[in-house]
Amino acid sequence: MSINTDAESQFAAIGLGGNLGDAPKTLCFALEQLAAHAQIHIIAISHLYRSAAIGPEGQPDYANAVISISTSLSPIALLDALQAIELMAGRERLLRWGARTLDLDILLYGEIAMQSERLTIPHIELYHRPFVLVPLADIAAARVLPNGHRADELAASCSRDGLALWPDLRWPSTVE
């Protein structure tokens, strides 16, 4: 794993989630695929969390994590790369807010704010989801988010109900 220092490279934060099958294993698979991509360099990997599903009742708990990367891909090209990995993991888009094998979301991309049919950056739910804010604070505590607040402040003020560490020896967190 190396860090791309090209002038063209941008910081991005990616949310990982899944709640079907062996979800930690699927998230590990996603990390391997991301690490193997020539234009994606993983900087940091949060702890792995277990979180109660937001959405329709009766879903299994999710495995969630956040990583930071540097990438020379444009936002849309990064989205294409993430969706290709979702497909490789067997992702089907069936129900809105339904259970899924793997979700890879662009949370932040440099200082960019954009809204298009396919992509909204920052992620539309970034500030509302503890299963995003808490792992984001693991790897980018002092980062000031586009709403002007530090990631660790936002994480400290959100409810941790239904959110817990998910110890898994396969998970290659870079956080102490």
Binding site for ligand ROI (CB under 6 A): 17, 51-55, 62, 64, 97, 103, 131
Q: How far is the CB of 158 from ligand ROI (least distance, A)?
A: 13
Indicate the residue whose CB is closest to ligand ROI: 17
**Residues 162/51, Cβ–Cβ less than 8 Å:** yes
CB of residue 129 to ligand ROI, shortest distance in Å: 7
Out of 50, 61, 91, 138, the active site residue is: 91
Q: Is 22 assigned a catalytic role?
A: no
Q: Which is nearer to ligand ROI, 9 or 15 (CB)?
A: 15
Q: What is the DSSP letter of 89?
A: T
Work out the burial of residue 107: count CB atoms within 10 Å of its CB; fewer than 13 is exposed, 13-18 middle, 19 or more buried: buried
The answer to whether residues 129 and 57 touch, using CB atoms and an 8 Å cutoff, is: no
Residues 17/64, Cβ–Cβ less than 8 Å: yes
Question: Which of residues 29 and 62 has its CB atom nearest to ligand ROI in the complex?
Answer: 62
Catalytic member of 103, 129, 138, 168:
103
Termini Cα distance of the chain: 18
Q: Hey, which residues are catalytic here?
A: 91, 100, 103, 105
